[in-house]
Amino acid sequence: MRFNLYALGLVLPALLAGCAAPPPVPPREAGERCLARLDQAGVSYALAAQPASVDACAVDTPVRVGATGIAWNQPGVVGCAFALRLDAFIREDVQPLARARFGQGVRQLRHFGTYACRRDTGNGRRWSEHASGRAIDLAGFELEDGTTIAVERDWHGQGAKSRFLHALARRACRRFSVVLTPDSNRDHRNHIHLDDGPWKLCSA
Ligand SMILES: [Zn+2]
C-alpha cells in the first residue's frame, strides 16, 4: 500500500513546473529502511506528500500517522524517523509508566498538532521543529478505563496524574532533544512539546 499522495507529491510539481527545478527527493534508501521499521513496529500510517513547497518546511520521508500501538485522537504528519521515536516513547516509556502508576495502560494519545510550516514565537523566530515534521504537542492521554489525563488540567498539583506527567517529561528528556512543558512558558500551559531538533533543552 505504498502508492498514494507521496508519489503524486513528487511527480505533480515537476509536471506543473514544466520540469524546471525538481522537488526535493528524500534519501530513498534511508527512507525505505525507516518505513520498513515502521511497518515492523506496527505503526499505522500512510505515506504523505511533501506538505509545503517552502524549503525550510521540507520533511524527510513524511508519513501521516494514525496510531502508534495506541490510537491518536487525530492523525498527524511527521517525518518517518520521528514517528519511530514516538512509537518507542509510547511503548517503552508511556505504557510502562502508566501501568506502574495506574495499574493499566494508555489507549489513546491526544495531541494538538505535529507538522506545521511556521517559525517559533521566540528564539529569534527561527524555524520551528514542527516545520521539519519532527515535533509534537502532546495534550494528554486516555487510560484503558476511560480516565483522562490532560496536561493543562493535571500538570500542576500533587495528584497521581501530575506525578505521572512529570515523570513522563523526565523520561522524554532522555529520548527527545527538546521537552517543553507548562513550566517553560505560557505558550506551553496546555501541552508538552517534544522535538528531535539540533538543540537540547529539558524543562521537566
Ligand atoms: Zn510544539
pLDDT tens sequence across 141-162: 999 999 999 999 999 988 999 9
> From CA 44, how far away is CA 39, in angstroms rounded?
8
Would you state the pLDDT for residue 51? 86
Ligand 1 centre from 114 Cα, in Å? 7
b/e map of 144-158 (b: 16 or more CB within 10 Å)? eeeeebbbeebbeee
Percent of the chain whose predicted confidence (pLDDT) is above 90? 76
Ligand 1 centre from 187 Cα, in Å? 9
Structure pTM?
0.85
Ligand 1 centre from 100 Cα, in Å? 27
Coil/strand/helix, residue 163: helix
How does strand 201-202 pair with strand 178-180?
A: parallel
Mean pLDDT across the chain = 88
Q: How confident is the model at residue 106 (pLDDT cuts 50, 70, 90)?
A: very high
Q: How confident is the model at residue 168 (pLDDT cuts 50, 70, 90)?
A: very high
Residue 5 predicted with pLDDT over 60: no
Which residue bears the cell 493499566?
Answer: 104
Mean pLDDT of 60-70: 94
